[in-house]
Structure 1
Amino acid sequence: MHLEGIHHVTCITGDARSNVDFYTRVLGLRLVKKTVNQDDPTVYHLFYADEEGSAGSDITFFEYPGARRGRAGTGMVHTVTWRVPSPEALSFWEQRLAGAGVSTRRRDDRLAFADPEGLGLELAVVETADRPLVASHPEIPADVALQGFDGVRAFADDPERSRPLLEGALGFAPAGPASWDVRGAARGGLYAFDAPPASGPGVPGAGTVHHVAWSSTMEAHEAWRERVAAAGGRPTPVIDRFWFRSVYFREPSGVLFELATLGPGFAVDEDPAHLGEALILPPAFERLRPQVEAVLTPIENPRAAWSR
């Protein structure tokens, strides 16, 4: 039994319009689901991914309008890394990001930058047999497009505290000092720790990661929960999020983990050709639509401008 790499990474934004613009127009991802935070349905939950809305490509955001900028610290993910296929792709992105006013730092086969609210992002040239998870964009050729997540990096005071749970209950495979490979039959991803910054404790807010979710098959989901519980991880019950099922817990270094199922998927209630165009509420939340629509920031479908 193995987890299938990263399912999604969920972050916080204070400005949904700017967030949509950056992740769709600049980075070329597809807005695949426009919905609400099911724990606070007055708040957007926006999902950006590849063309199919695949697990492994999905970065998501809760919008808290006007939220102050946060800062990653101990027990928080500080960098999200996507795969690209070649050094030529890195050169493309170096130029594209510069043209969008985004500062970058290139080192060997990696390109580091931040989103408009300071979230640490990185592109890495990675050779892998994993299927590339690519979104269609009129300005970004498919052979240089983002190909899904490679991994996340977090801050930890003592990474050894996390090793028994990561390697035991969750089956993470050591991949270097304070680094692990999380690989299943179809896909994998990396989880790594760095020493925390001297700037002090982390501050949750805009531009920070809320949690990282790892992919589980539907059949193994309850068994994963039981393994985490047996290891002292204190998982939540299984929560039905309609598009997937979720279990949450904090690993010993403080990072909030989710185990999310590979399915049913985003096309269960939308035509795949029109993902992300309308505000979609899970059936249990449909009764709240009038109140929700009254408080959410109006967002135009990013793809509507392509035909213009």
Structure 2
Amino acid sequence: MQLEGVHHVTCITGDAPGNVRFYTDVLGLRLVKKTVNQDDPTVYHLFYADEEGSAGADITFFEYPGARRGRAGAGMVHTVTFRVASEDALAFWESRLASEGVSSSRTHARLRFEDPEGLGLELAVVSVPDEPLVARHPQIPAEVALQGFDGVRAFAADPDRSRALLETVLGFRGTGEGSWELRGELRGGLYGYDTPPAAGGGVPGAGTVHHVAWASTMEDHDAWQRRVADAGLQPTPVIDRFWFRSVYFREPNGVLFELATLGPGFGIDEDPDHLGESLILPPAFEHLRSQVEKVLTPLPDPRVAWTA
């Protein structure tokens, strides 16, 4: 069995309209599913990805309106890294972000910045065999567009506590002190640890990562759940999220992991040409539509303006 790199990264926002604008208008991702948090259907769950809504490009947000900013600390992911194709792409993004009032810092082959709520983001020039996962945007040429995830970095006081789980149970390969790669037949992704900040522990809230999900095939998913359970990590049962199946557990340094399946996918209940345009509820939640629509902030289709 092999896991196929990063499936998705789920974060928290306190401002759904601002979140949509930044990730679609500024970063050029496609809003591929507008739905609700299935554990709390009174709040949005927004999914942004490439044009096809692919695993490996899918950053998602729970919206808690007005939520205070959080702060990443030990046991939390602090940076999400996307791939780009070239140094020219980094130059494009440095200029584009500056025009939007977003400060950034550039080093060789990397560009660091934050989203409007303080979530740490990074663009990295990498050379991998993985298919580029790109969304269309009228102001962003395909050759400089984001190409899906390269990986995430978390804070941990003792990275070695997680080594056995990562390498022996989940199949990560060590690439250096505190860093690992998870590579399957289709995709790969990186995971690493940094020393936690000295100023207090983490505070969940807007601008923080809730969990990182690693991709599993449908055929192997039950076996992965059993394998994690046999390692003593107390995973949840397999949970049907309709668009994929999920298993959750905390790795030894406290980061919340999910194993999520490659499918059925976001096209199972929407025309692929119209992903993210309407509020979509999984069948088990459809009876709640009249209630949730009253409390959710109206969100326009971010692509409507393209035809104006």
TM over 0.5: yes
Q: Which amino acid aligns with 2:267?
A: A
Q: Which amino acid aligns with 2:32?
A: V
- Other structure's SS at 2:165 match: helix
Q: What is the Cα deviation at residue 198 of structure 1?
A: 1.1
Corresponding residue for residue 34 of structure 1: 34
Corresponding residue number in structure 2 for 1:266: 266
Structure 1: gaps (5+ residues): none
What is the correspondence of 1:82-101 to structure 2 with a 5 Å cutoff? 82-101=82-101
Percent of matched pairs sharing the same residue: 77
- Amino acid aligned to 2:121: L
Aligned counterpart, 1:102: 102
Deviations 1:35-64 (A, max 9, x none): 000000001000000000000000000000
CA displacement at 1:238 relative to structure 2: 0.2
The CA deviation string for residues 173-227 of structure 1, in whole angstroms up to 9 with x for no partner, is: 1111110100000000000000001111000000000000000000000111111
Counterpart secondary structure, 2:143:
coil
The 3-state SS of whatever aligns with 1:306 is helix
Alpha-carbon separation, structure 1, partners of 2:27 and 2:204: 24
* 2:103 corresponds to 1:116: no
CA–CA distance in 2 between the matches of 1:83 and 1:173? 20
User: Residue type of the partner of 2:17?
Assistant: R
Counterpart CA distance in 1 for 2:230 and 2:179 is: 23
Code of the residue aligned with 2:162 in structure 1: it is: S
Question: In the alignment, what sits opposite 1:194?
Answer: 194
In the alignment, is residue 19 of structure 1 matched against residue 47 of structure 2?
A: no
* Corresponding position of 1:209: 209
Paired with 1:8 and 1:237, the residues of 2 have a C-alpha distance of 19
C-alpha distance in 2 between matches for 1:289 and 1:176:
49
The equivalent residue for 2:79 is 79
Number of aligned residue pairs: give it: 308
What pairs up with 1:161-200 in 2 under 5 angstroms?
A: 161-200=161-200
**What is the one-letter code of the residue matched to 2:160?**
E
For the residues of structure 2 that align with 1:240 and 1:193, how far apart are their CA atoms? 30
Name the structure 1 match of 2:160. Answer: 160
Letter in 1 for 2:21: D
Q: Structure 2 CA distance, aligned partners of 1:177 and 1:223?
A: 29
Q: Which residue of 2 aligns with 1:302?
A: 302
Partner amino acid, structure 1, of 2:230: A
**CA deviation map 1:90-126 (0-9, x unaligned):** 0000000000000000011100000000000000000
**Structure 1-normalised TM-score?**
1.00
CA distance in 1, matches of 2:199, 2:291: 40
Q: Distance in 2 between matches of 1:262 and 1:251?
A: 21
Query: What is the CA-CA distance between 1:304 and the residue it aligns to?
Result: 0.5
Distance in 2 (alpha carbons) for counterparts of 1:175 and 1:269:
40
Where does structure 1 differ by over 2 angstroms across 4 or more consecutive aligned residues?
Answer: none
| Equivalence for 2:283 | 283
Partner of residue 150, structure 2: 150
Amino acid aligned to 1:67:
A
Structure 1 residue 229: deviation in Å? Answer: 0.6
Q: Once superposed, what is the RMSD of the aligned Cα atoms?
A: 0.4
- Distance between the aligned counterparts of 1:176 and 1:216, measured in 2? 25
Residues 115-149 of structure 1: per-residue CA shift (max 9 Å, x gap): 00000000000011100000000000000000000
Distance 2:175 2:189 in 1: 11
Query: Given residue 292 of structure 2, which amino acid in structure 1 is its aligned partner?
Result: V
Q: What amino acid does structure 2 have at the position aligned with 1:254?
A: G
CA distance in 2, matches of 1:250, 1:33: 26
Give the residue type in structure 2 aligned to 1:253: N
| CA distance in 2: counterparts of 1:277 and 1:48, whole angstroms | 12
1:156-179, CA deviations, whole angstroms, 9 ceiling, x for partnerless residues?
Answer: 010010001111110111111110
Supply the distance in 2 between the matched residues of 1:240 and 1:230 (Cα, whole angstroms): 21
Task: Give the structure-2-normalised TM-score.
Answer: 1.00
Number of the residue aligned with 1:2: 2
Structure 2 unaligned segments of length 5 or more: list them.
Answer: none
Q: Distance in 2 between matches of 1:12 and 1:305?
A: 26
Amino acid at match of 2:156: A
